[in-house]
Structure 1
Amino acid sequence: MSIDVARARAETPGCTGVLHFNNAGAALMPAPVLETQIAHLRREAAIGGYEAKDEAAARLEAVYGSIAGLIGARAEEIALVENATVAWNLAFHAFRFGPGDRILTAEAEYASNYISFLQLAERSGVVVEAVPSDEAGELDVAALEARLDERVRLIAVTHVPTNGGLVNPAEAIGAVARRHGVPFLLDACQSVGQLEIDVERIGCDLLSATGRKYLRGPRGTGFLYVRRAILDRLEPPFLDLHSARWVAPDRYEMRADARRFENWEFNIAGLLGLGAAVDHALGWGMPAIALRIAALAAELRARLAEIPGVTLRDLGRQPCGIVTFTLEGREATALRDALRAQAINVSVSGPGSTLLDATRRRLPDLVRASVHYYNDESEIARFCGVLRELVR
């Protein structure tokens, strides 16, 4: 199935007001996602929050199944949480690490994740090691396997880093992790919604994701996948009366499914909106979405390469929908602001967001233009035309 771009744009109210190339930050929501949230908020206002939740119970339960279908999991392996950072931290801190335990990650790892590694290193004496990149900029899988020994307790990698268009070889990493029996935590914050994701094919044990980016869902929503086979080895860093039961004065029992990673209070409207966003993506089909994004990104890179002073900064054998570049003589933040003044949205990716990669490549602040399937070729032409005017 191909993407009906005209319909996709008609279903996206924001397309009438902005040229939105900031989908890796927060994509424009389609009308069904917006309407789902507003409808539930109106019910909360009309009948009460608890009562509206009870009324929506079946639809809320269906969100788990929709997400499971999106990533090839089972509904009981899904936990709904506030955002991808919460999902990732809940997963990471559910492991018990001791002095000398090793964590292997990538050079392009995201700052929030690496800060958690360093915090744990200070507290518990774990050793954090960034596996070097190969000639294409991807995590070097052979180097990863060469570093594995009995002290490696976790492989934790960002699938699509926040800058550089890179797609790390998640399936190859998963194969190595499985061969050696090492748990694999995949940060899929930027990949869920733009790439086809199948947790069985990838072989990850845990996966964290957000709603606001390529899934086109609400801010303040996310989810965590936890493979059933690893669940009993994990205890979330905090529990409440939703994630566990108080069964005796001196004893509690955790839930037997991934919802042990949830807590009692939810943004119900947001999570219903997340479910609507997942269903919307499934309606288009992830293969069609992935192909459309890749084609648009390739065209954008080709056109940018023709503009004097533009340097593309992307990595990987098959770069994704995140396109990063610099423009000679123009600071990235000033360029972003100049574009925004013309109703064109991009973002800026600073060196601190992927410090190891940025240091290795001596990167300044980068302009990040991230496309989605509802963007069209005329927007690429306009975007590059405006950049050419700014060069003059």
Structure 2
Amino acid sequence: MSPFEVQHLRDATPGCQSGIVHFNHAGASLPSQATLDAIIDQLQREARDGPMEASEHGAVLVEKARRAAGQLLNAPASSIAFTSSGSTAWNLAFQALGPWKPGDRILVGRQEWGGNLASMALAEQAGARVDVIPCDETGAVCPAALESMLDANVKLIGLTWLPANGGLINPAQAIGVVARRHAIPYFIDAGQAVGQVPVDVQALQCDVLKSAGRKHLRGPRGTALLYVRPAFLQHLNPAQRDVLSAPWTSEGFDLRDDSRRFETSEASLALLAGLGNALQEMNRLGIGRVWERVAQTSARIRAALRQMPGVSLHDLGSAQSGLIAFNLAGWDGFELKRRLGLKHINIGANGIAYTPLDMQARGLASIARISVSPLNNDRDIELLMAALEALRD
């Protein structure tokens, strides 16, 4: 992307005009004015015409969002459901996969998101076991080690593709090959992937994939998408049902035959209108070009951090994403985040609870996290580095 294109994106984003330097896109990115307008327009329709009466127009926008999500993921629109959060999406699919019984095994990468592990605790209470797939020499989940762990009791392979605590990119496609060869359900947490790197669910061969709208997609909080492979849908029996997900038929209430069996009749059409605009903007921009820009910017920042005394980098893998994990000598990650915030520079921080298996394995209590976007420019980088220099012991 050219400097002109980056400036065009910034000009269309109110947060870039506020004087705040935003390097917390992995937490929540900055929406465009057009995304805000889409939300406000639907809210105004509801206030003017009546919330229920305006729902017809809102439903049209939601279907546009569904098609845009399908385009981004190389998936049919009918395989996309919208939920209120990424964790909700993952939990709905996971709970629908049961019931769990003693002896069942769930295999996960060491970097599995803490919220997913918390949901798996319900399966463990029923007698299932969660086993960790070993890492290769770079710190990534090892497909060969995964294959050696498989037996008839393995009921699920779960992978957090791009972990929240650093720049690792796990080999999601290679793991998908193993899962499909052995006909084992495969769930991908793509919360940090969608909107940052190209995501093709056909190539990944996953059965379920989820992502939040507020992160790299630049959509509003309170939105998320859930992909379910159409042929896998029959294996998922969600407990949460209403007149949308299980409509009345002459035979009684019957689950939908598309991914909307995970939706409910009550949802914020305004927020989904905003998510739809963000998805359309991403498709117009091109995810390949976004990833190229993110990779270039994050490489520059990592190079600068390596030259700064007192900084330790904590990114694993042979190639890194736009999430940069580091620590500054003498600073806890969360306190460093707070102090930079006082200087109007936003970064993230992660503790053990977010990725407990990996953080404990590496002896890390916390990390500070820089996460980049095509919105970030040279001036942002200069201000960030100057602020870190000023805080060095």
Which structure 2 residues correspond to residues 126-165 of structure 1 after superposition, within 5 A?
126-165=128-167
Partner SS, residue 138 of structure 1: coil
Using the TM superposition, give the Cα deviation of residue 207 of structure 1 relative to its aligned residue in structure 2, in angstroms. Answer: 0.4
Match of 1:103 in 2: 106
SS in 2 for 1:162: coil
Q: Residue type matched to 1:112 in 2?
A: G
Structure-2 separation of matches of 1:219 and 1:273: 10
Are the counterparts in 1 of residues 211 and 226 from structure 2 also a CA contact under 8 Å? yes
RMSD: 1.2
| Alpha-carbon offset, residue 57 of structure 1 | 2.7
Q: Indicate the residue corresponding to 2:115 in structure 1.
A: 112
* Corresponding residue for residue 223 of structure 1: 225
Query: Which deviates further from its counterpart, 190-199 or 236-245?
Result: 236-245
What is the letter of the counterpart of residue 6 of structure 1? Q
> SS at the partner of 2:96?
coil
The more displaced of 239-248 and 184-193 is 239-248
Q: Which of 191, 212, 215 is the equivalent residue of 1:213?
A: 215
The yes-or-no answer on 1:361 pairing with 2:369 is: no
Identity within the alignment, %: 41
- Aligned to 1:185, the other structure's residue is in SS state strand
Deviation at 1:151, TM superposition (A): 1.1
Question: How far 1:2 moved relative to its partner?
Answer: 5.6
8 Å contact from structure 1 (residues 193, 214) kept in 2: yes
Task: List aligned pairs for 1:1-392, cutoff 5 A.
Answer: 4-17=5-18, 18-96=20-98, 97-122=100-125, 124-247=126-249, 251-392=252-393
SS at structure 2 position matched to 1:209: strand
TM-score normalised to the size of structure 2? 0.97
CA distance in 2, matches of 1:343, 1:262: 38
TM-score when scaled to structure 1?
0.97
**Could you tell me how far apart the structure 2 residues matched to 1:59 and 1:356 are?**
40
CA deviation vs aligned residue, 1:283-340 (integer Å, no higher than 9, x gap): 1100000010011111111111111101011111111000011010122222111111
Moved over 3 A (4+): none
Q: One-letter code of the match for 1:118?
A: A
- In the TM superposition, residue 389 of structure 1 has moved relative to its aligned partner by 1.1
* CA positional deviation for 1:127: 1.2
- SS of the residue corresponding to residue 140 of structure 2 reads coil
Contact 1:2 1:288 in 2 (8 A): no
- Cα distance per residue 1:11-40 (max 9 Å; x no partner): 111012210000000001111111110111
C-alpha offsets along residues 112-144 of structure 1, whole Å, 9 cap, x if unaligned? Answer: 00111122211x111111111111111011110
Matched-pair contact (CA < 8 Å) for 1:107–1:139: yes
Q: Return the alpha-carbon distance in structure 1 between the equivalents of residues 282 and 350 of structure 2.
A: 26
Unaligned runs of at least 5 residues, structure 2: none
| Residues paired across the two proteins, number | 390
Structure 2: how far apart are the matches of 1:275 and 1:47? 22
SS at match of 2:271: helix
